[in-house]
Amino acid sequence: AAVEGFDVDDVEGAIEAAGHGPLPVLAVIGRPNVGKSTLVNRIIGRREAVVEDKPGVTRDRVTYEAEWAGRRFKLVDTGGWEQDVLGIDASVAAQAEYAIEAADAVVFVVDAKVGATDTDEAVVRLLRKAGKPVVLAANKVDGLSGEADAAALWSLGLGEPHPISALHGRGTGDMLDAVLEALPEAPAQTFGTAVGGPRRIALIGRPNVGKSSLLNKVADEDRVVVNEIAGTTRDPVDELIELGGVTWKFVDTAGIRKRVHLQQGADYYASLRTAAAVEKAEVAVILIDASESISVQDQRIVTMAVDAGRALVIAYNKWDTLDEERRYYLEREIETEFAQVAWAPRVNVSARTGRHMEKLVPAIEAALAGWETRVPTGRLNAFLGELVAAHPHPVRGGKQPRILFGTQAGTKPPRFVLFASGFIEAGYRRFIERRLREEFGFEGTPIHISVRVRE
Ligand code: GDP
Ligand code: GDP
């Protein structure tokens, strides 16, 4: 494509960059205090992940976007994990299991100064079973004298231990090179073998909103829980359920059904599980307890699904308990708290009475259709041309930036690149997004718009 004032290579490069599919996922796992959060901080180059001397800092945020040597990936940080009542071995194992499941490759961090512990050995067994690519990071090798400690970790049988100092950065570059070699270009479990199989749904929401009740309701009502479908390998934590004549894969349902009660770290555990489920899914059904005020936690879960670029349906549960007053306030709350996802299809359900269960599938289908929508370049530019003519960008400093050309670089979710003659203000970008939605639908899907400005 040639765009006035742009180099052809720039245009093609920009379209390719914007069209990237979902990013591969790298999980950083290991015992508490080995330096996972410090390493995550170093990789993302920010001070965002909290590091504290004592283990067990509870956080909500568990996935970050990172880049190394021009390649982008998602990083799952398990550093906020707390030792639970089951003891350290069980909690580290559970953490590792969730993280490994969601990941395409794993960095296993061991404290080289301490050496391999029994807990580390237990994690190694999990890693073997999972069969995902692993890079072994021998951390806290702050100087040459620590190299021998790192070499001792060959004994774990995971191949070469990479001596690093997450704190000072020593060796982390070489380790990341090894990570990139191990990491597939695209997330395998999301978009590899599973393509063509049942669509994947993550049923998510904070504790007690009714996830397990809803899952039981849909599984029972339709009485069909398919166990094997030709050509699909069934993950034991996923459940195949037939709804509305179609088989769907509800991902990570073990976490919903198995009511694991943790006294500490339960929030963190829940958010890690939510992140893992969202990564594996195409569409997230976010369950909200409509009888209670919309909380910050509800909003975080919505943000997690939007940031992951998944199709989205919002289901307001426990509708059977709502009186007129609560319904009034709920509408006000939705308007203010969920304004950024006003495009998400909404259903008002009751897992208890079965109210409106039949509306769930059409909402999910609408969201997936929006998520996969592709607007042909000709149509897009006809639309942009009219839009720009009718509503030009405001004049700034005597100049009027113009949109010259646009194209949809990708789907799932839809990603657009616009080429402009000058800086396009945030307000005008939002206006374009609004009009794109009015014109082409995009119900139930986030859309990404990146703007390239002529030099
Ligand atoms: P996590 O629990 O595995 O996430 O561990 P943290 O990242 O919170 O680190 C635990 C402690 O180890 C903190 O006091 C860090 O400063 C320290 N630490 C982390 N990496 C290194 C390192 O490479 N060298 C040294 N000397 N200390 C480190
Ligand atoms: P989860 O933690 O999200 O899996 O939530 P549960 O399914 O365990 O439900 C939490 C509580 O809410 C239980 O006591 C359920 O019986 C109750 N509950 C779930 N759905 C509904 C509903 O639609 N109406 C009412 N009244 N209660 C519900």
Give the mean pLDDT of 112-126: 92
pLDDT surpassing 70 at residue 49: no
Judged by DSSP in three states, 407 sits in: strand
pLDDT surpassing 60 at residue 53: no
Closest ligand 1 atom to residue 55 Cα is 2
Q: Quick one: which ligand is closest to 287's CA?
A: 2
Residue owning the nearest CA to atom 17 of ligand 1 = 35
Residue 233 is predicted with a pLDDT of: 39
Tell me, in angstroms, the distance from the centre of ligand 1 to residue 78's CA: 13
Residue owning the nearest CA to atom 26 of ligand 2 = 318
Give the mean pLDDT of 106-116: 96
Residue 254 is predicted with a pLDDT of: 65
Tell me, in angstroms, the distance from the centre of ligand 2 to residue 208's CA: 6
Query: 207 among the known binding-site residues?
Result: yes
Residue 103 is predicted with a pLDDT of: 86
Residue 53 beta carbon below 6 angstroms from any ligand 1 atom = yes
d(CA 24, CA 109): 19
Q: What is the pLDDT of residues 196-215, one digit of tens each?
A: 678 999 999 988 899 988 98
Residues in the ligand 2 pocket, defined by CB under 6 Å? 205, 207-213, 256, 317-318, 320-321, 350-352
Which pair of tokens denotes residue 207? 């504790």
Residue 266 is predicted with a pLDDT of: 57
Residue 445 is predicted with a pLDDT of: 97
Q: DSSP characters for 142-189?
A: -SGGGHHHHHGGGGGSSS-EEE--TTT-TTHHHHHHHHHHHS-SS-HH
Closest ligand 2 atom to residue 353 Cα is 23
Order of strands, sheet of 415-420, starting from the edge strand that comes earlier in the sequence: 403-410, 415-420, 448-453
Query: 385 among the known binding-site residues?
Result: no
Tokens 């789907």, located at residue: 411
Tell me, in angstroms, the distance from the centre of ligand 2 to residue 28's CA: 33
Residue 429 is predicted with a pLDDT of: 92
pLDDT surpassing 90 at residue 327: yes
Q: What is the pLDDT of residues 260-288, one digit of tens each?
A: 444 445 566 677 778 888 888 999 999 99
Give the mean pLDDT of 291-305: 92
pLDDT-derived band at 79 (thresholds 50, 70, 90) equals low
Residue bearing the bigger pLDDT, 208 or 191: 208
Closest ligand 2 atom to residue 319 Cα is 23
Residue 230 is predicted with a pLDDT of: 38
Closest ligand 2 atom to residue 321 Cα is 26
Residue 169 is predicted with a pLDDT of: 93
End-to-end CA distance of the chain: 17
Tokens 């978009």, located at residue: 191
Q: What is the pLDDT of residues 149-169, one digit of tens each?
A: 999 999 999 999 999 999 999
pLDDT surpassing 80 at residue 38: yes
pTM of the predicted protein model:
0.73
Query: 90 among the known binding-site residues?
Result: no
Residue 246 is predicted with a pLDDT of: 86
Q: What is the pLDDT of residues 130-147, one digit of tens each?
A: 889 999 999 999 999 999
Residue 166 beta carbon below 6 angstroms from any ligand 1 atom = yes
